[in-house]
Structure 1
Amino acid sequence: MKILIAPDSFKGSLSSVIAANTIEKAIIEALPSADTSTFPMADGGEGTVDAILLSTSGQRIVRMVRDPLDRPIEAGFGWLPDEKTAIIETAAASGLPLLTTHEQNPLHATTYGTGQLLKEALDLGAETIILGLGGSATVDAGVGLFQALGLNVFDENDVLIDRVGGSLQQIHRIDTSALDPRLQRVNVIVASDVTNPLLGPNGAISIFGPQKGVTPDMISPLESGMDHFSSVVIQHTNRNEINTPGSGAAGGIGFLLHSLLNVTFRPGLDLVVELTGLKKLLPAMDLIITGEGKVDGQSLFGKVPVGLGKLAKEYGIPVVAFAGSIGEGIEQLEREGVSVVHPIVTGPMPLEQAMANGEDLLFDATVRLIKTIQL
């Protein structure tokens, strides 16, 4: 039996690499004759760089940049020298996992470090930059990112603002004259499955803010600040990208990317599949095992299990998805090629316990699956 092992990360518990290796070890123990291939996956968020580098001749470049709270941190990005392509995750320098729960501060968190990584990629001679927007700790609309690349922003007294974070109401004028000119020559591809607009009930603040530390009483002032800032940008650029799909991604980074650059938004999983050459392996496979932390109806929107299910459906390959937890709507996944969703937990348990024991739970669940198949 030829089995392709291609999980996403189980966020907060297992990286996609560890998850893939765990599943493979369990299969080898339960069915030594199996022919396994591991392909850790990602959808543009955390793990995208690892997924691509494991399947290519690329390398990881590590630089000292600033974290969301402007502290020095080492962060890396992927570099494919032959293609002159850089793969950068917003989460690497501006991600929520870099902060403790008590450190989450949407008013001060900045994407400046991500901009520094983009500059490092440009310095290497990048002709294409793939920017994954998942997992940011910020609602600064990408102001910090562009400040690292030469954007200047000013307050109502026309005084230059150094770091604005999510307090976008302070900005009354922007100046793009010092923006790195290489940004207009490089091909920027944004890996994101988010199609939300910038503002409103489906926008950056209302939908994604709470996971970054935005409390209910902060939503209205932050929304007002984002609205104010967008009007400043529209006045400067004569481009209204508020409702452009993806403008609400990563705390509004998508909006400023659309407004200041000519960027292409693509589903993150499609890019990973394309760059890793995974599709070439599918015709020879008998089974695909994937998974992620939570599988539910939202998995239909660009998540790894459903993306793989759609690909596998073309070849008639069954797909099993492991899940740390299962939510409503999983019955819809079958029509997209996901044959069955298996929980890895063995019974009711606190979330912290499940996440702490994720590796053991996934191993045991895989052994159970293989024994069931052998029946």
Structure 2
Amino acid sequence: MIALHIVVAIDSLKGSLTSLEAGEAIRSGILRVYPDAQVNVLPLADGGEGTVEALTLGMGGELQRVNVTGPLGESIAAQYGIIPAKKTAILEMAAAAGITLVPKEQRNPLYTTTYGVGEMLRDAIGKGCRHFIIGIGGSATNDGGLGMLQALGYKLLDAHGAPVPYGARGLEKLAIIDDADVLPELRECTFRIACDVTNPLCGPQGCSAVFGPQKGAALDDITRMDGWLQHYAELACAQYPHANPQAPGTGAAGGLGFAFLTFTNATLESGIQIVLTETKLEEQIAKADWVITGEGQLDGQTVMGKAPIGVAKIARKHDKPVIAFAGCVTPDARLCNEQGIAAFFPILRQVTTLAEAMDPHNARQNMTDTVEQVFRLLQIQSAR
């Protein structure tokens, strides 16, 4: 009898299990029923939290830690990944400038900086990386990427030739963009930016108006920051004709999308598509008998381009059945059935507190036990 070939590609259960930990728990449940099954666990993420660990470990890379400037100007330890064979670094801007790094009472994009993001890039470049995959979700900043550019060697100066300060307030004083001392290796580098935000840099749908409030911006600050970003874009367009502040995604991460597109050799791409391509998931799915996916919570938002639906679309293309497991599901999760997920199952097995449910040991056990029972049912069905 030919052994089953099963592909497992599940997103992290945030705060509980990483993508690979959840995948290994699923593998354990399957092997209880089909000891001879070939179960391939592949990392899955959508470009947001967990992408660095999922891609780096899933592709045989190495995790790095480096001390950088945090969003408030303090020194913090940031983690990123390197795939040495591909001279590729995998980063999340949130590791250096994420909103979760800033206490709620201190959130104010006038002062938060992306300088640490540039320091992470410098560190990776110094270690031989020339290709970058970067998730830019979850930012605490609205500085248009000024801090990152400063760390890469751009001189961003006021009318008197002095460096502008950190944060969006630096945009107010910006008068000169000088690229004479930019890190020379930067011209050799390519950047694939995981970005599912389509907002432009400025205007009613720009980063200040749409995302400023959640980063702690006051109403009058939003109006001022939008004007400063417009001025920044005008300076950039005068010097770099390809700059386009209206391009979709330029407003991502407080204008960091604009900085990447204007000042580096970058493309903005769907986060889940980058991950699916880099892990060669489609090649594995094409050979599979079953495909397993999921995430922490399956709901109506899952069908809006999140990782499990990316997996389901590939499986549907190859006519492969998909089962999903999740920490919990909501009533509108049934929309997932219309997008190629044949059936989905919550893994909670008894009434419990949220803390107990999210405990990694409990989550791992619940996942394994639930998967085992589902595959016992499949075994009975296949025997008929």
Q: Is contact 2:17-2:363 (8 Å) kept? A: no
d(CA) in 2 for partners of 1:349 and 1:92? Answer: 32
d(CA) in 1 for partners of 2:361 and 2:195? Answer: 28
Q: How much does 1:319 deviate?
A: 2.0
d(CA) in 2 for partners of 1:167 and 1:62? Answer: 28
Structure-1 residue corresponding to 2:272: 269
d(CA) in 2 for partners of 1:186 and 1:106? Answer: 29
Q: Would the alpha carbon gap of residues 342 and 169 (structure 1) be closer, same or farther in structure 2, given more than 3 Å must change?
A: farther
1:315 aligns with 2:318: yes
Q: How much does 1:81 deviate?
A: 2.1
Q: Would the alpha carbon gap of residues 330 and 220 (structure 1) be closer, same or farther in structure 2, given more than 3 Å must change?
A: farther
d(CA) in 2 for partners of 1:28 and 1:344? Answer: 17
Match of 2:230 among 201, 221, 227: 227
Structure-1 residue corresponding to 2:13: 10
Q: How much does 1:131 deviate?
A: 1.9
1:360 aligns with 2:362: yes
Match of 2:24 among 21, 25, 45: 21
Which piece of structure 1 moves more, 52-61 or 115-124?
52-61
Q: How much does 1:118 deviate?
A: 0.9
Q: List runs of 5+ in structure 2 lacking aligned partners.
A: 378-384
1:54 is paired with a residue whose SS is helix
Structure-2 residue corresponding to 1:82: 85
Q: Is contact 2:199-2:250 (8 Å) kept? A: yes
1:147 aligns with 2:150: yes
1:82 is paired with a residue whose SS is helix
Q: Where does 1:220-299 land on structure 2 (aligned, <5 Å)? A: 220-299=223-302
d(CA) in 2 for partners of 1:324 and 1:317? Answer: 23
Q: Is contact 1:287-1:318 (8 Å) kept? A: yes
d(CA) in 1 for partners of 2:212 and 2:220? Answer: 12
Which piece of structure 1 moves more, 29-38 or 224-233?
29-38
Q: What letter corresponds to residue 312 of structure 1 in structure 2?
A: A
Match of 1:41 among 39, 44, 68: 44
Q: Would the alpha carbon gap of residues 202 and 349 (structure 1) be closer, same or farther in structure 2, given more than 3 Å must change?
A: farther
d(CA) in 2 for partners of 1:362 and 1:206? Answer: 41
1:70 aligns with 2:56: no
Q: What letter corresponds to residue 112 of structure 2 in structure 1?
A: A
Structure-1 residue corresponding to 2:132: 129
Q: Would the alpha carbon gap of residues 207 and 182 (structure 1) be closer, same or farther in structure 2, given more than 3 Å must change?
A: same
Q: How much does 1:74 deviate?
A: 2.1
Q: Is contact 1:139-1:166 (8 Å) kept? A: no
Q: What letter corresponds to residue 56 of structure 2 in structure 1?
A: L
Identical aligned residues as a percent: 36
Which piece of structure 1 moves more, 306-315 or 41-50?
41-50
Query: What are the superposed Cα offsets for residues 239-274 of structure 1, whole Å, 9 maximum, x if unpaired?
Result: 442221221222211111112223122222222223
Q: How much does 1:312 deviate?
A: 0.8
d(CA) in 2 for partners of 1:203 and 1:343? Answer: 37
Q: Is contact 1:26-1:363 (8 Å) kept? A: no
Q: CA RMSD in A?
A: 3.1
1:53 aligns with 2:63: no
Q: Is contact 2:296-2:328 (8 Å) kept? A: yes
Q: Would the alpha carbon gap of residues 293 and 234 (structure 1) be closer, same or farther in structure 2, given more than 3 Å must change?
A: farther
Q: What letter corresponds to residue 113 of structure 2 in structure 1?
A: T
Structure-1 residue corresponding to 2:177: 174
d(CA) in 2 for partners of 1:218 and 1:27? Answer: 54
Query: What are the superposed Cα offsets for residues 285-319 of structure 1, whole Å, 9 maximum, x if unpaired?
Result: 23322222344444344321111011111222222
Q: Would the alpha carbon gap of residues 221 and 300 (structure 1) be closer, same or farther in structure 2, given more than 3 Å must change?
A: farther
d(CA) in 2 for partners of 1:203 and 1:349? Answer: 42
Which piece of structure 1 moves more, 64-73 or 331-340?
331-340
Q: How much does 1:32 deviate?
A: 5.5
Q: Is contact 1:198-1:242 (8 Å) kept? A: yes
d(CA) in 1 for partners of 2:46 and 2:256? Answer: 17
Runs of 4 or more, structure 1, over 6 Å off, are 346-350
Structure-1 residue corresponding to 2:382: none
Larger radius of gyration: 2
d(CA) in 1 for partners of 2:331 and 2:200? Answer: 25
Q: Is contact 2:16-2:360 (8 Å) kept? A: yes
Q: Is contact 1:30-1:367 (8 Å) kept? A: no
Q: Where does 1:155-194 land on structure 2 (aligned, <5 Å)? A: 155=158, 157-165=160-168, 168-194=171-197
Q: What letter corresponds to residue 376 of structure 2 in structure 1?
A: Q
2:208 is paired with a residue whose SS is helix
Q: How much does 1:8 deviate?
A: 1.4
Q: List runs of 5+ in structure 1 lacking aligned partners.
A: none
Q: Is contact 1:188-1:264 (8 Å) kept? A: yes
Q: Would the alpha carbon gap of residues 372 and 83 (structure 1) be closer, same or farther in structure 2, given more than 3 Å must change?
A: closer
Tell me the TM-score normalized by structure 2.
0.83
Structure-1 residue corresponding to 2:380: none
